[in-house]
């Protein structure tokens, strides 16, 4: 087995160039398809992080002073480079995350949507102007960048999420420090090279690799104005609480327990096919993955599970080098053990094991972190596997007698990221979309993640803070408003006024 001493040592990207780590600490980067160590990622100290912040402050002054036209030229250059080199990036994503090539390409495509939105920054930055609001005073507003902002990204989307978190932040004039997941550092370093080639001034974009020491410095450093985070709900709450305690604007996106409600009038074949990809794609390592099928009525449940059983058994698991596979491994050995534990525990609690994915054939020939698709029926809301997010291919069926019961269960769950309903009834759809308490809602849509020009964000414990990822709200999150009242007095001498100004 390869060890960290035998592989390439990666770097940070600070001040417009790659910078070797000085801490002497390295984390192992694995190829989850084989279990092999492929690189060592430096784990920065708080002092290294402070140095990156100082360079980001200097770079931001130069970047903010540039015209909007020049900023958009750089963003457009970055967009074109990302598009033209996406094949290279696909290989990187597959190597370090285990995704299939089709899934990696889809992720990059969604990331490009965020850059496309960032190119509309000149329009979204426009303020307001009112003439003669009173006393010959004109009032107008402007939007200014915050300064230095930070993004803390997850492993499951090494490209889409970092790009979505940062493109608008750069476009409106901020400097960005990205702390990628230490499990997938290659993608962030590749993106850094694209920004440099696009013409972004030194220091405006930095990548600081590391663990909690880096995160805590970003959360507490007074020169960092805002934090965008994506990860587990537990860590999202920590990031929100710590960041806001230190005066920062924070948008922290946590986990999801996303339901698909299947009505009796739905096309069950179509619904099962939709569930298949939404539930098991990317080895179920998506915060917007559908984890829970909720058929309404026993007859619907029996038919749906029967159709789904056949489809799930046909899924193929394997490495990204095999273009016939439907999904690859989970990210790590620890992740695999966590999923196995959830499956075993649910069986002990009384769930019915429809399909057992604990020992797929590929496990016998590979050291990769593979799990086959598991399907559990007759899961009840009091079971642990229903209450918690499971980041792996163990999906569940919760049977409900009515749409009202389905809505009630979804609304009671502490997580509220995404939900969808499959139905041919407009009345059912209207009731569902009106009463459901979830941030992103689908009707006959398997994964209700919005397009790049709509706001992304869940409700309840799936999101902490008022910011969003994607959409026009990213401009509001990464800027601060200034309102100016302006009057040019005439020649005559004015008298002092001691009353409160009014119109």
| Token pair for 420 | 């969808």
Whether 253 contacts 74, CB under 8 Å: no
The percent of residues above 90 in pLDDT, for the chain, comes to 89
Whether 30 contacts 183, CB under 8 Å: yes
pLDDT digits (tens, 9 = 90+) for 218-249: 999 999 999 999 999 999 999 999 999 999 99
Question: CA dist 315 to 37, 95, 156, 260, 393, Å?
Answer: 28, 21, 21, 20, 11
Which pLDDT belongs to residue 449? 86
Backbone angles phi, psi at 250, to 5 degrees: -130, 135
Which pLDDT belongs to residue 56? 98
In a 3-state reduction of DSSP, which class is residue 186?
helix
Q: How far apart are CA 177 and CA 165, in angstroms?
A: 11
pLDDT at 503 exceeding the cut of 80: no
pLDDT digits (tens, 9 = 90+) for 87-132: 999 999 999 999 999 999 999 999 999 999 999 999 999 999 999 9
DSSP character for 400?
B
Which pLDDT belongs to residue 410? 97
Question: CA dist 452 to 39, 176, 177, 187, 324, Å?
Answer: 33, 20, 22, 20, 29
SS3 of the chain: helix, strand, coil, percent, to 5? 40, 20, 35
Residue 118 backbone class (left: φ over 0; alpha: ψ -120 to 50; beta: rest): alpha
Q: How confident is the model at residue 348 (pLDDT cuts 50, 70, 90)?
A: very high
pLDDT at 339 exceeding the cut of 90: yes
Least confident of 3-12, 76-85, 200-209: 3-12
The percent of residues above 70 in pLDDT, for the chain, comes to 97
Whether 56 contacts 177, CB under 8 Å: yes
DSSP string for residues in 326-381: SB---S-HHHHHHHHHHHHHHHHHT-EEEE--SS-GGGGT--S-----EEEES--T
Is 287 an active-site residue?
yes
Q: How confident is the model at residue 493 (pLDDT cuts 50, 70, 90)?
A: low
Tell me the pTM. Answer: 0.94
Which domains are assigned to the chain?
4-254+462-483 (3.40.605.10), 258-443 (3.40.309.10)
What mean pLDDT do residues 294-299 have? 98
Q: How far apart are CA 288 and CA 389, in angstroms?
A: 11
Q: How far apart are CA 30 and CA 368, in angstroms?
A: 10
Average pLDDT, the chain: 94
Q: How far apart are CA 118 and CA 77, in angstroms?
A: 12
**What is the bridge-based pairing of β-strands 137-145 and 129-134?**
antiparallel
Which residues, 6+ apart, have CB-to-CB distance to 361 below 8 Å?
Answer: none
Residue 473: name the closest of 169, 113, 232 by CA.
169
Whether 149 contacts 176, CB under 8 Å: yes
Please give the helix or strand (H or E) that residue 294 lies within, else none.
strand 290-295
pLDDT at 494 exceeding the cut of 80: no
Q: How far apart are CA 273 and CA 286, in angstroms?
A: 18
Q: How far apart are CA 54 and CA 283, in angstroms?
A: 40
Whether 89 contacts 190, CB under 8 Å: yes
| Token pair for 334 | 């620890």
**What is the bridge-based pairing of β-strands 175-179 and 249-253?**
unpaired
What mean pLDDT do residues 33-60 have? 97
DSSP string for residues in 86-145: HHHHHHHHHHHH---HHHHHHHHHHHHHHHHHHTTHHHHT---EEEEEETTEEEEEEEEE
Q: How far apart are CA 1 and CA 3, in angstroms?
A: 6
266-295: b (≥16 Cβ within 10 Å) or e:
bebeebbebbbbbbbbbbbbbbbbbbbbbb
Tell which wins on pLDDT, 468 or 157.
157
Q: How far apart are CA 30 and CA 95, in angstroms?
A: 9
Which pLDDT belongs to residue 7? 77
DSSP character for 4?
G
Tell which wins on pLDDT, 37 or 502.
37
Catalytic residue among 287, 288, 351, 355: 287
pLDDT at 346 exceeding the cut of 70: yes
Q: How far is CA 37 from the centre of its chain?
A: 25
């Amino acid at each position: 087995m390869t060890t960290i001493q035998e592989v390439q040592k990666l770097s940070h990207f600070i001040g417009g160039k790659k910078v070797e780590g000085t801490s002497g600490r390295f984390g192992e980067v694995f190829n989850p398809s084989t279990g092999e160590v492929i690189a060592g990622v430096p784990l920065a100290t708080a002092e290294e992080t402070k140095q990156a912040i100082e360079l980001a402050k200097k770079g931001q002054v130069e970047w903010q002073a540039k015209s909007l036209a020049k900023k958009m030229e750089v963003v457009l250059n970055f967009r074109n480079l990302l598009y033209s080199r996406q094949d290279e990036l696909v290989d990187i994503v597959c190597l370090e995350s285990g995704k299939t090539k089709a899934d990696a390409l889809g992720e990059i495509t969604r990331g490009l949507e965020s850059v496309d939105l960032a190119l509309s920054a000149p329009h979204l930055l426009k303020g307001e102007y009112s003439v003669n609001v009173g006393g010959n005073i004109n009032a107008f507003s402007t939007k200014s960048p915050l300064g230095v902002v930070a993004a803390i990204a997850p492993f499951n989307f090494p490209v889409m999420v970092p790009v979505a978190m940062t493109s608008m932040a750069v476009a409106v004039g901020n400097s960005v420090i990205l702390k990628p997941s230490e499990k997938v550092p290659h993608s962030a370093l590749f993106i850094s090279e694209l920004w440099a080639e696009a013409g972004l001034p030194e220091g405006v974009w930095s990548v600081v690799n590391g663990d909690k020491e880096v995160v805590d410095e970003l959360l507490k450093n007074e020169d960092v104005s805002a934090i965008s985070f994506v990860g587990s709900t537990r860590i999202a709450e920590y990031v929100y609480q710590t960041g806001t305690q230190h005066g920062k604007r924070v948008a922290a996106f946590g986990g999801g327990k996303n339901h698909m409600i299947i009505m009796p009038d739905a096309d069950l074949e179509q619904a099962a096919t939709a569930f298949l990809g939404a539930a098991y794609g990317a080895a179920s390592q998506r915060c917007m993955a559908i984890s829970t099928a909720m058929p309404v009525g026993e007859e619907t449940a029996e038919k749906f599970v029967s159709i789904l059983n056949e489809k799930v058994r046909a899924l193929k698991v394997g490495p990204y080098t095999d273009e016939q596979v439907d999904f690859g491994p989970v990210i790590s050995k620890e992740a695999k053990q966590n999923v196995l534990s959830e499956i075993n525990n649910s069986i002990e609690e009384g769930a019915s094991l429809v399909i057992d994915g604990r020992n797929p054939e590929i496990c016998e020939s590979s050291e990769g972190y593979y799990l086959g698709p598991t399907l559990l029926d007759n899961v009840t809301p009091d079971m642990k596997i229903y209450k918690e997010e499971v980041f792996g291919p163990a999906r569940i069926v919760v049977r409900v007698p009515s749409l009202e019961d389905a809505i009630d269960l979804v609304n009671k769950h502490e997580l509220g990221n995404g939900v969808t309903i499959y139905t041919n009834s407009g009345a059912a759809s209207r009731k569902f979309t009106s009463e459901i308490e979830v941030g992103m809602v689908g009707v006959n849509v398997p994964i209700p993640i919005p397009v790049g020009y709509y706001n992304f964000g869940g409700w309840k414990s799936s999101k902490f803070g008022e910011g969003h990822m994607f959409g026009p709200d990213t401009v509001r999150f990464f800027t601060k408003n200034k309102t100016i009242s302006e009057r040019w007095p005439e020649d005559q001498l004015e008298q002092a006024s001691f009353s409160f100004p009014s119109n």
